[in-house]
Amino acid sequence: MKKVGFFSFTCCEGCIIVFLELLNKKYFEYLKKMKIENFRQIKTSEKIKKLDIAFVEGAISTESEIRKLKEIREKSKLLVALGSAAVNGYPSNQRNNFSKNKKQEIQKLIKKFHQLKSVEPLKSFVKVDDEIPGCPVDEALLSKKIDSYLK
């Protein structure tokens, strides 16, 4: 049985919703093949456990997110970037391309909320073993990928 975790950073959490919808079809099958150790939306455990597979959605926008992502990487055999924000930063990184004036306008908010200068995909900070693109991810592709990881 594979130990898995689901983690969200700067995003809308749409990919997590797709996974929850997928559970409507595959719950009993997955129950036999995976043990969910971390999943903020359905479990209260804050401690990141040792995992076979970490599914990580969202882009990275703060120093605390970098630290948590690095801990997830250290404790995971396989790290999967889940969705466009995790894969390439978009759409969470739209502010990276704002005009100079717009960037000056939002600078107070960036500072107030302890944001990094730019919003970046996971691979800017850690090794990513696989990517599942989409915003949100396609349910059929997610199912196919998960099935391949659980073999």
Examine the pLDDT at 43 and tell me if it is beyond 80. Answer: no
User: pLDDT tens-digit profile of 29-40?
Assistant: 999 999 999 998
Alpha-carbon distance of 150 to 30, in angstroms, equals 9
Q: Are 52 and 79 in contact (CB under 8 A)?
A: no
At the fourth CATH level, which superfamily is domain 2-149? NADH:ubiquinone oxidoreductase-like, 20kDa subunit (3.40.50.700)
End-to-end Cα separation, the chain, in angstroms: 10
Q: How confident is the model at residue 27 (pLDDT cuts 50, 70, 90)?
A: very high
- Model confidence pLDDT, tens digit, residues 121-141: 999 999 999 999 999 999 999
Checking if the pLDDT of 85 tops 90, the result is: yes
DSSP structural state of residue 127: -
Of 116, 141, 122, 102, residue with least CA distance to 58: 122
- Alpha carbon of 20 to those of 35, 50, 96, 107: distances in Å? 15, 22, 31, 36
pTM of the complete model: 0.94
Q: What are the residue ranges spanned by the domains of the chain?
A: 2-149
As beta bridge partners, residue 4 has 36, 53
